[in-house]
Homo-oligomer: A and B are copies of this chain.
Amino acid sequence: MVDVFIHYLLQRISLSEAETAWIRPLCTLKKLRKKQYLLQEGDVWIYNAFVSKGCLRTYGVDDKGLEHVISFAVENWWIGDRESLLSGQPSRFNIDAIEDSEVVLIRKDNFDLIGQQIPAFREMVNGILQKSFVVSQNRIHAAISYSAEEKYQNFVHQYPAFAQRVPQSMIASFLGMTPETLSRVRSQSAKK
């Protein structure tokens, strides 16, 4: 529901009734069944998407048909393909629902408009972007520095919620290893 999004906003910035009433119609709620695409490779992404329910993933598919998970998103997270959004070019990635989900979509033009009208919104979004960048720097650091086992330990530590919710094969993909390797890493770790 869009209420989830408004609630999220009100927790972070103060908005008048008039403002929330103005924002609300700029939002579209999209329900997705498990495995349904939100974005498919080749499409142009023109939204900012807020996950109000469920769990999604962004992934790329290589020439061998293997999927590589770039990111996960659950309730109160944002998801999308910023590359396609910025460039206007077709996306190289796919986004689909891991569970039955709901996302609040705001078209880029409307999103920018909200930012122009409400400086606090703009600042909030900027803060999210900065944090996202830090998170992705840390993921790069983990990807180039850690062994398979360390990557998994770090993942569980960082995202205990996902470790439950997301199929192991997708976690393996997220960490850049095969499902078999992750399975072995886990049984190793369990022995301790």
| Interface: A183 (CB within 8 A) | no
Within the complex, what minimum Cβ distance (angstroms) separates A185 from chain B? 15
From the candidates B60, B69, B145, name the one contacting A68 in the complex (CB within 8 A): B145
| Interface: A134 (CB within 8 A) | yes
Within 8 A of B (CB), among A102-160: 126, 129-134, 136-141, 143-145
A131 touches B86 (CB 8 A): yes
Counted per complex, copies of this chain come to 2
How distant is the Cα of A140 from the Cα of B137 in the complex, in angstroms?
Answer: 9
| Interface: A176 (CB within 8 A) | yes
B86 touches A174 (CB 8 A): no
From the candidates B86, B131, B136, B176, name the one contacting A130 in the complex (CB within 8 A): B86
| Interface: A100 (CB within 8 A) | no
From the candidates B69, B140, B144, name the one contacting A136 in the complex (CB within 8 A): B140
Are A176 and B145 CB-contacts (below 8 A) given A82-B130, A86-B131, A133-B132? yes
How distant is the Cα of A86 from the Cα of B133 in the complex, in angstroms?
Answer: 11
- Which residues of B sit under 8 angstroms from A130, Cβ to Cβ? 82, 86, 129
How distant is the Cα of A69 from the Cα of B173 in the complex, in angstroms?
Answer: 23
- Which residues of B sit under 8 angstroms from A174, Cβ to Cβ? 144
Give me 24 A-to-B residue pairs in the complex whose CB atoms sit less than 8 angstroms apart, sorted by A's number.
Answer: A60-B145, A68-B141, A68-B144, A69-B144, A70-B137, A70-B140, A71-B137, A82-B130, A82-B134, A83-B134, A83-B138, A86-B131, A126-B126, A129-B130, A129-B133, A133-B136, A136-B137, A136-B140, A139-B140, A140-B143, A143-B144, A143-B176, A144-B175, A144-B176
Closest 3 CB pairs of A and B: A144-B176, A143-B143, A68-B145
